[in-house]
Chains A and B, each alone.
Chain A
Amino acid sequence: MNGSLQQDVNQETFTLNLGPQHPATHGVLRVKLVMDGEYIVEAEPVLGYIHRMHEKMGENRTWAQFLPNCGRMDYLSALSYNHGYVAAVERAAAIEVPERAEYLRVITVELNRISSHLLWFGAFVLDLGGFTPLLYAFDDREQILDLLESVTGSRLTYCYFRFGGVYNDIDDSFITGTREFIKRLRRRLPMYDALVTKNIILIKRLKDIGPISQDMARRYGATGPVARGSGINYDVRKHEPYSVYSEFDFDIPVYQEGDSMARYMVRMDEMEQSMRIIEQALDKLPDGEIQPKKAIKMVKPEKGDYYHAVEAARGSFGVRIVSDGSNSAYRLKLRSPTYSNLSLFGEAAKGMLLPDALALMGSLDLVIPEIDR
């Protein structure tokens, strides 16, 4: 004990535990920090506090029984996870999805993406010391939760998609409600812009803070707004079009700076793009079935392995399936985006001031249950 204490004195560094119970870590993440005064010498995230072994659960229950698990990983954009999983199984078992069902998937996933970004926006500004925007953001997000509740039956841990379709059709009140919500959010976003984005305190906290280079994103496999904030034009919806995304006209916001402000701007701009997708999907929404005519009772993908990726709110969510031809997975690998995004924190936070590192951490948009799975 004396030895280690002595060494610390000589180096004038000390160890600081951030979390696992700390508001800025949004759940149960712990970061072991070696500090030199206010500056970070080393930062090592410690994971696993909420690890539930979803991948094992995928092996010991049937394909369909695993569906509710998807909403319990990234609980803020549960529908993206639903989408990734059902799309992977549909690819493996060669299940056709009616067009209307794909449209409904896109509409609800994009609504979910906006609600996820709104919550991130509020929580991120809260991390930086601004309390009020959180209340505004939750007010808007509440509208989405009501809309999604009316069609999926739940407000957070959705389990709306089925193999070959969705379980419930939307009605007219959902369509008018969604259009009204888009109108409302389009009025609110300029207010957020004036109130928060142009706020000099926010700019000083984020500009040039926590730079992530393109090479760093590549070496760590960072995707989503983290990569796009570093000038990487990578969005699975465009890069590897799945579902019916190729039928919509939307842009991928990309910022070159690589700092926390860039990642902030990417997400703020993405909300408008998601609204554009929803509007087009509602305009073009085809009639027809929402599930295959012949009900799928048993899913038995052919032997072999399959991969499917979707763009979740935080980046590329990938599902790797190994099937032995039976009614449950032989191996189910879930590649969660935040896991890779957070893994670069140790390198990126080196030499930063502690409060700046918290701004960096907030700009990564962490969801711990998704990292730990």
Chain B
Amino acid sequence: MLLAKIKEELKSLYDDIDIQESAEVEEAAAEEAEAPPVVEEGAEAVSEQGDVKEEEPVTKASPPGPREADYKSKGYHLDVALPPEKVVAAAEILSRENFFIEAITGVDWIDEQQLEVVYDFNHFEELCRVAIRTRTDRSNPEVPTISHIYQGANWHERETHDFFGIKFSGHPNLEPLLLPEDADFHPLLKDFKA
């Protein structure tokens, strides 16, 4: 029940994305990575075909829209791919529905020159794990902070900044948390050499 409700609410975030896509197709080139036109069930289709497409990226950027995931095999219920500027609005919706924050982390998609930020939310009363994901350009990774909505995000974002160098704009204190205070490296980037 909660799942259907939150899915419906998160859908509202995509209202203007559809309009944008049809209106300014050329300009959307930069955003295309975050919102590829139609890639249906990208990851599954690739894995089913097996070895034929060795060159395919590990997982494609998810198509926009809240998609229900198979909880039993995946461990989460809702997979929500958003452009970075929509993340704050998504966090606001989840906070209104009393979701709690489980974690924030990054993934380095070096082949696509993108960094992904994944936010995990869950609910204390009803099991409903929502994964919000957003992708940003690897050369200048920047995502707005949600630490003013979820104070717990403060540390998670600092950690993600430590490990991936992703800048969380608006963060009150984006200092190294787990790494030394003078650290200028990001160890979870795939091209990091110790």
The residues of A with any CB-CB pair to B shorter than 8 Å are 47-48, 51, 53, 55-56, 59, 88, 91, 94, 217-223, 227, 232-234, 239-240, 302-309, 316, 318, 320, 322-325, 330-331, 333, 335, 339-340, 343-344, 347, 372-373
Question: In the complex, which residues of chain B have a beta carbon less than 8 angstroms from the beta carbon of A318?
Answer: 102-103, 120
Interface residue ranges, B against A (CB under 8 Å): 43-44, 46-47, 58-59, 73-76, 95, 98-103, 105, 107-108, 118, 120, 124, 127, 129, 131, 149-152, 154-155, 163, 176-180, 187-188
B150 near A307: Cβ-Cβ < 8 Å: no
Q: Is the CB of A344 within 8 A of B74?
A: no
Query: Which residues of B have CB within 8 Å of A47?
Result: 155, 177-178
A335 and B154 contacting across the interface, CB-CB below 8 Å: no
In the complex the two chains form, is B107's CB within 8 Å of A331's CB? yes
Q: Which one, A56, A94, A307, A324, contacts B129 given CB within 8 A? A: A307
Contact of B47 (CB < 8 Å), options: A48, A232, A304: A304
Task: Give which listed residue, B99, B107, B152, contacts A340 with CB less than 8 A.
Answer: B152
Kindly list 12 other residue pairs between chains A and B, CB separation below 8 angstroms, not including A219-B101, A347-B151: A48-B180, A51-B179, A91-B75, A219-B149, A220-B101, A303-B43, A303-B58, A305-B118, A307-B75, A307-B131, A331-B188, A343-B152
Residues of B within 8 Å of A322, CB to CB, are: 58-59, 107
Please, which residue of chain A has its CB at the minimum distance from the CB of B152?
A: A220
User: How far apart are the CA atoms of A6 and B95 in the complex, in Å?
Assistant: 42
Contact A333 B151 (CB under 8 A): no
The 7 closest A-B pairs by CB, nearest first: A307-B75, A220-B152, A335-B103, A324-B58, A48-B178, A333-B105, A221-B101
**Roughly how many angstroms separate A59 CA and B43 CA in the complex, as a whole number?**
21
Indicate if the CB atoms of A221 and B47 lie closer than 8 Å. no
Q: Which of A48, A219, A239 contacts B150 (CB 8 A)?
A: A219
Cβ distance B94 to chain A, nearest Cβ, rounded Å: 10
Nearest chain-B residue to A234 (Cβ)? B124
Q: Which residues of B contact A335 (CB under 8 A)?
A: 102-103, 120
CA distance A234 to B98 in the complex (A): 14
